[in-house]
Structure 1
């Protein structure tokens, strides 16, 4: 099914993943009627990229807050497809819980309400693997799928907020629209997303440069995960959008979630950084800074110190027990269901993803070195 003539709203369009989805939509052979790009703020670089691809599809920039109800109604008016990627990502507990809930949970619910009021038929939500786990025990999953039973109730604020938002999206499927039509929804749960422009990769690169071009080992080699390249998760959104418009495929997809991975080798998070840049001459530490159990309790101690200091000063530890568990638990999933239900097949091979990401990292190394020097001076 084609997206030709469709009016689409992409939230979080100025972000790492949102930009890539917009780029793919603008590159479609059969042009959309319109793409509305919604975000709280857009960098000048993002706006320049959007201008490069403007052609047959009309592009409209909407800068505003996902919590603003009148703004959302204006954004959704006349739209038939919403791709909702906007959220606050917080792995360290840096964001106040109230703000996290207002944006990730309430913002999603208000967007769904706007879709019903404005007769939006199709809604795709970008969830996260963290709504599944790992749990606090660090129970592993090897090549799991949507039917895998896993005892977990997300406790970390970010994971909980995403789970509640995803639940709202899937429960909204089948709601009657104002014009009598029906809302159809699904959610995509990507693995850790890497690729050009990834802010987490840049953060790890900075620490590597400060550590004499050697990556810090923050996850053990046995903690295998299957990250997904940003181009492939963006492509999954486009394929899901097309399939939701196909009545036969939509009946299988409605109200469902899908794990999205690709053919990236199963590696630990730390070893992924190394694999992407080994050709640039970077190394990686051979072991964790301390035994895993000790690292877990050390992180827990830092959290306790942070809690005790809260009345006097805001101290944010560099790690926490949730992050240590997340980074050191084997957790891999198959994309078979997405392939079966809506034809998802990775658009980029691992070698292509590795080459593209490595080239981007190589291009920013001089800039990051200068930036770190100026901070040290």
Structure 2
């Protein structure tokens, strides 16, 4: 097959939850793209079936923590979207592994840009590079410039924060061929949507618990959530803006947002779980915060004691308790002003798609009985 003119994109972590939606979005709505390289440790060759006459999708197995692997995948690439990360706030993985992927992996991507003359790098960051902070201070309707005491705990939040800082600091750096690197970062709040692995685990856990969920936080503890299709859409627009408006977006960080309602984590999830027969127990937290804190601390101690015997990863620990019980909502139009972002998928459709996927889980669960 003859080479086709156009841009070559590399999407690290492209087989993950966000990555799959992003690759599909780039194929369907990207402009001037001839090839999308999907780079991940666990590959899904079915993504190659997304290829069209205009856009070829190639799946490459590799690890961002291995510099040679990243460098090989990046040869001939015009733009990198770096979504690969190890999301772990439960202690399933060692801190060294989390740092190797989230921080060293990002360093490897930046170095590949410099060595291969790649001018454009879009980094998928996280709201957790800002907060909720370790003090449990609320961040309500904040934007990218809102003063907030950033005090992060745990290897995930800390590694993502340092990775983002490294990416933004690299803006303007020289790359091979005499050009300069243009970078920016997107900070999704809690991403939801169909095929979300964390929500699927929650679904199966609650099924075992009789489709009941204990309330940990008050209804007033609101959080910003954003639909995966809109996060993918913002990535596409930001990638385009890196090329077309480098002076505007270069070195900038943007929260990802849409018109999803502000609710507590638990009440938000019930928008999709409720229609399938799940129910919340209580209108207020069933246990006082101090009791939950002691339970979270006990779970961490048990995890440490049982680590030599096997894997015990409770969903409740002091970090996750702090996240659930600390309000964090964003209200910003920075992405709209800088590169014309508007949510592609309205809330009603986002909710319907996600609830439909939960019904599919129900059907599969029923067949498996």
Could you state the TM-score of these two structures normalised by the residue count of structure 2?
A: 0.93
Give 1:64 shift.
Answer: 1.1
The 5-angstrom pairing of residues 16-55 of structure 1 reads 16-28=17-29, 30-43=31-44, 47-55=45-53
Give 1:162 shift.
Answer: 0.5
Q: Is the 8 A contact 1:207 1:215 kept in 2?
A: no
> SS in structure 2 opposite 1:95?
coil
The 5-angstrom pairing of residues 90-109 of structure 1 reads 90-109=88-107
5+ residue gaps, structure 1: none
Matched with 1:110 is 108
Structure 1 residues 314 and 50: alpha-carbon distance in aligned structure 2, compared to 1, 3 A threshold = closer
Matched, 1:261 2:262: no
Over residues 350-372 of structure 1, what are the superposed CA-to-partner deviations in whole Å (9 max), with x where a residue is unaligned?
A: 0010001111110111323565x
Give 1:218 shift.
Answer: 3.6
Distance (whole Å) between structure 1 residues aligned to residue 251 and residue 308 of structure 2: 44
Structure 1 residues 313 and 37: alpha-carbon distance in aligned structure 2, compared to 1, 3 A threshold = closer
> SS in structure 2 opposite 1:345?
coil
Structure 1 residues 309 and 208: alpha-carbon distance in aligned structure 2, compared to 1, 3 A threshold = closer
Q: Which moved more, 1:309-318 or 1:150-159?
A: 309-318
Distance (whole Å) between structure 1 residues aligned to residue 30 and residue 177 of structure 2: 31
> SS in structure 2 opposite 1:258?
strand
Matched, 1:83 2:81: yes
> SS in structure 1 opposite 2:106?
helix
Structure 1 residues 358 and 79: alpha-carbon distance in aligned structure 2, compared to 1, 3 A threshold = same
Distance (whole Å) between structure 1 residues aligned to residue 157 and residue 67 of structure 2: 24
Matched with 2:187 is 189
Q: Is the 8 A contact 1:260 1:334 kept in 2?
A: no
Structure 1 residues 369 and 149: alpha-carbon distance in aligned structure 2, compared to 1, 3 A threshold = farther
Q: Is the 8 A contact 2:142 2:332 kept in 1?
A: no
> SS in structure 2 opposite 1:10?
strand
Matched, 1:203 2:201: yes
Matched with 1:67 is 65
Distance (whole Å) between structure 2 residues aligned to residue 28 and residue 144 of structure 1: 30
Give 1:93 shift.
Answer: 1.2
Could you state the TM-score of these two structures normalised by the residue count of structure 1?
A: 0.92
Structure 1 residues 277 and 318: alpha-carbon distance in aligned structure 2, compared to 1, 3 A threshold = closer
Matched with 1:333 is 330
Distance (whole Å) between structure 1 residues aligned to residue 336 and residue 238 of structure 2: 10
Matched with 1:293 is 290
Distance (whole Å) between structure 2 residues aligned to residue 87 and residue 30 of structure 1: 26
Distance (whole Å) between structure 2 residues aligned to residue 328 and residue 293 of structure 1: 12
Distance (whole Å) between structure 2 residues aligned to residue 65 and residue 313 of structure 1: 25
Structure 1 residues 369 and 299: alpha-carbon distance in aligned structure 2, compared to 1, 3 A threshold = farther
Distance (whole Å) between structure 2 residues aligned to residue 362 and residue 312 of structure 1: 37
Structure 1 residues 244 and 300: alpha-carbon distance in aligned structure 2, compared to 1, 3 A threshold = same
Q: Is the 8 A contact 2:141 2:329 kept in 1?
A: yes
Distance (whole Å) between structure 2 residues aligned to residue 8 and residue 29 of structure 1: 10
> SS in structure 2 opposite 1:277?
helix
Give 1:78 shift.
Answer: 1.1
Distance (whole Å) between structure 2 residues aligned to residue 83 and residue 250 of structure 1: 15
Aligned residues: 364
Give 1:210 shift.
Answer: 1.9
Give 1:107 shift.
Answer: 0.9
Q: Is the 8 A contact 1:140 1:331 kept in 2?
A: yes
Structure 1 residues 311 and 76: alpha-carbon distance in aligned structure 2, compared to 1, 3 A threshold = closer
Structure 1 stretches (4+) deviating beyond 6 angstroms? none
